Amino acid sequence: MKAFSSAPRATQSPYRLSLPREFLLSRTQISFPRHVFTCQARFTGPGVAGGHITTIPSTLLAAEKEEAKAVLSLFLRKQGLSNAAASRITNKSDHFIDHLISRLHVVHKSRYLVGRELTTLEIRDALAPYLETLLDEYRDLFVASVENFPDPPGKEIPSQPPAESPPASLSPNNSSLSSKKLKAIARVSEVGSNGQLPAHIHYLLDLGMSLKQIKDMTRKFPAFAYYSLEGKIKPVIELLLDLGVPKSDIPSILHKRPQLCGISLSENLKPTMKYLEKLGVDKNQWAKVIYRFPALLTYSRHKVEISVDYLYELGLSSESIGKILTRCPHIISYSVDDKLRPTAEYFRSMGVDIAVLLYRSPQTFGLSIEANLKPVTEFFLERGYDVVEVGTMVSRYGALYTFSLTDNLIPKWDFFLTMDYPRSELVKFPQYFGYSLEERIKPRYRQVKECGVKLLLNQVLSVSDSDFERILKRKMEKLANNNIDLNLDQITTAVEELQL
């Protein structure tokens, strides 16, 4: 899949892709349906005699639209657009969002016929492949078509929709995103005719969430306002508690990922957990894993498998992958093509064992090559180290690249220059940069100097306080014995000279 160009040209939209003119000339039609959608979806097909009219509640429709917006915004960001650009395009594309909803209703028409709500993952799995198909087909015209649906500027629209598109139609929804957010926030904060807040809000308050947290959460993800207590929120919360998640952690988890409550336990969440446990994720650590990264359980199986397959490709075993996911579940959120693969290639060019580095420091693979990795590499190259030595340093200490240049590497390097060590000592022990300058490095080195002994940098920093004191004492005793032996030799030599 092509990525959107980040640099706009003078003659085209800043979001358009650069393609051969011949290809663009061949694309003279955008085959999006131009129909109008209402709150009723007509489903016809085998087993539905004469068609069937199913009325979709307005609250459910509003929730689905917010889910569809989230899917489109995420899709645009994956193509290289900034968060602001993706949000702007999504917010001005109400007609296209309605089109996605109509498609969703046809893809899952059997669910609607029995009155079953779709989960977040089901909505995402239905819409994401469709968006990928449209992008592959229309390339640099994709964004313009989304923004101007159903009438892309200067393009002829065919009278007939594609065969797979529903005959349902889309009625324009001119309400702004801000008004939708306000409506969702009002839903969770306004007192009803019974003088009470909604039941699911009472439930969340009892869990320890504040009304402000709930409003903030709804502002970020308005669809949460329409989740039912018994059907969505409560089952997920009870599962988290059964997994050992402290009740006090629930507010933070929901605030980070309210979409978690939109997932079906039986069809998505539990199967995903079983799959991850088979990979080696410690089932006794689920409470910590979910607290660290609750979004892990909201990813589709396809997304997880793509990431896991690449980890296998790098040479990691199932056991190692399980431990990585337990310690750093964020690794699943990293794009294979945009993040993991380029980072692996960057370090491989330095002679680093990628599997070892990934196992020791998976968080390193979430860093930007341009903004984080290259500046650190240049920092050491400018100070006289070669690429092989820098590669050795990161192989021995994977977290090296996670440190700030300004707050960590530079001040510790400056102090290192005052120490009586050759620069090669850092190649042997790059863990030096992982210790506190004021609380560990300076105090211990001062003791070494006061005692008048010499220790390897590893001996100064990596041992416990008691071991450090013992090493100092032994070195001082050895130094004293050496001085005694030296003095005896000097006296013997002086006596021999006098006798002569």
pLDDT bracket for residue 55 (50, 70, 90): low
Share of the chain above pLDDT 90, in %: 43
Q: What is the pLDDT of residue 83?
A: 78
Reported confidence tier of residue 497, pLDDT bands at 50, 70, 90: low
Q: What pLDDT does 267 receive?
A: 85
| Residue type, position 401, single letter | Y
Largest CA distance in the chain: 129
The whole-number pLDDT of residue 169 equals: 35
Residue 285 is encoded by which pair of tokens?
């650590």
Least confident window among 2-16, 71-85, 359-373, 454-468: 2-16
Count how many Cα atoms sit within 13 Å of the Cα of residue 49 in the half-sphere of its side chain. 0
Average pLDDT over residues 440-450: 95
CA dihedral over 165, 106, 275, 244, signed as positive or negative: positive
Average pLDDT over residues 351-359: 95
pLDDT for the residue numbered 492: 55
Look-up of token digits 């990928």: 132
Q: What is the pLDDT of residue 118?
A: 73
Q: What is the DSSP track for 85-113?
A: HHHHHHHT-HHHHHHHHHHHHHHTHHHHH
More confident site: 90 or 494: 90
pLDDT at site 348: 96
pLDDT at 216 over 70: yes
How many CB atoms sit inside 10 A of residue 39's CB? 11
Dump pLDDT digits (tens) for 121-169: 778 878 887 887 777 666 667 787 788 777 654 443 333 333 333 333 3
- Alpha helices by DSSP H, listed for 208-340, are 211-220, 234-242, 250-256, 270-279, 286-292, 301-313, 318-327
Q: What is the mean pLDDT of residues 285-312?
A: 91
End-to-end CA distance of the chain: 94
Among the residue ranges 178-182, 269-273, 450-454, the one predicted with the least confidence is: 178-182
Residue 85 has pLDDT above 70, yes or no: yes
CA nearest 356: which of 402, 327, 390, 320? Answer: 320
Measured from the Cβ of residue 206, the count of other Cβ atoms closer than 10 Å reads 9
Lowest-confidence segment of 102-111, 174-183, 427-436, 438-447 by average pLDDT: 174-183
362 has pLDDT over 70: yes
**Confidence class for position 390, pLDDT limits 50, 70, 90:** very high
Compute how many other C-beta atoms are within 10 angstroms of the C-beta atom of residue 432.
26
At 299 the pLDDT is 85
C-alpha distances (whole Å) from 360 to each of 64, 234, 336 are: 41, 37, 19
> For the chain, what's the residue count?
500
Answer yes or no: is pLDDT of 172 > 60: no
55 - beta bridge partners? Answer: 40
Indicate the range of 86-90, 242-246, 450-454, 462-466 predicted with least confidence. 86-90
200 and 229 Cβ atoms separated by less than 8 Å: yes
Cα Rg of the chain, angstroms: 31
Confidence of residue 246 (pLDDT cuts 50, 70, 90): very high
In the prediction, which pLDDT does 140 show?
62
Mean pLDDT, residues 233-248: 94
Find residue 42's DSSP bridge partners: 53
The CA-based dihedral angle spanning residues 360, 362, 364, 365, taken in that order and rounded to the nearest 10 degrees: 140
Q: How far is CA 427 from CA 380, 386, 424, in A?
A: 11, 11, 5
> What is the per-residue pLDDT for 206?
92
6 exposure class (CB count in 10 Å sphere: 0-12, 13-18, 19+):
exposed
H-helix segments, 139-269: 142-147, 177-189, 199-207, 211-220, 234-242, 250-256
Residue 113's pLDDT band (boundaries 50, 70, 90)? low
Residue 442 confidence (pLDDT): 97
Confidence of residue 114 (pLDDT cuts 50, 70, 90): low
Mean pLDDT of 180-197: 82
CA distances from 131 to 106, 137, 268, 401 (A): 16, 10, 22, 36
The residues with which 53 forms a beta bridge, in sequence order, are: 42
pLDDT of residue 239: 94
Q: Name the pLDDT band for 95 (thresholds 50, 70, 90).
A: confident
Which residues are CB-contacts of 148 (< 8 A; sequence separation ≥ 6)? none
Whole-angstrom distance, CA of residue 108 vs CA of residue 60? 14
Verify cis geometry, omega within 30 degrees of 0, for the bond prior to 246: no
pLDDT for residue 411? 97
- Angle at 117 (CA atoms; ends 114, 121), nearest 5 degrees: 130
Least confident of 76-85, 376-385, 424-433, 457-466: 76-85
Contact of 222 with 192, CB cutoff 8 Å: no
For residues 469-492, b (16+ Cβ closer than 10 Å) or e, as one string? eebbeebeeeeeeeeeeeeeeeee
pLDDT for 158 equals: 36
Residue 284 is encoded by which pair of tokens?
């006794």
What tokens appear for 188 in the block?
A: 């969770």
Q: So what's the pLDDT on residue 91? A: 86
Q: What is the mean pLDDT of the chain?
A: 79
Give the model's pLDDT for residue 444: 96
Tokens read off for 278: 């088979």
Whether the pLDDT of residue 392 is over 80: the answer is yes
> 407 falls in which pLDDT band (50, 70, 90)?
very high
H-run or E-run covering 40: strand 40-45
More confident residue, 205 or 51: 205
The contacts of residue 153 (CB under 8 Å, 6+ apart) are: 144
Strand (E) or helix (H) holding 485: helix 465-499
pLDDT digits (tens, 9 = 90+) for 307-339: 999 999 999 998 999 999 999 999 998 989 889
Do 68 and 201 form a contact (C-beta atoms < 8 A)?
no
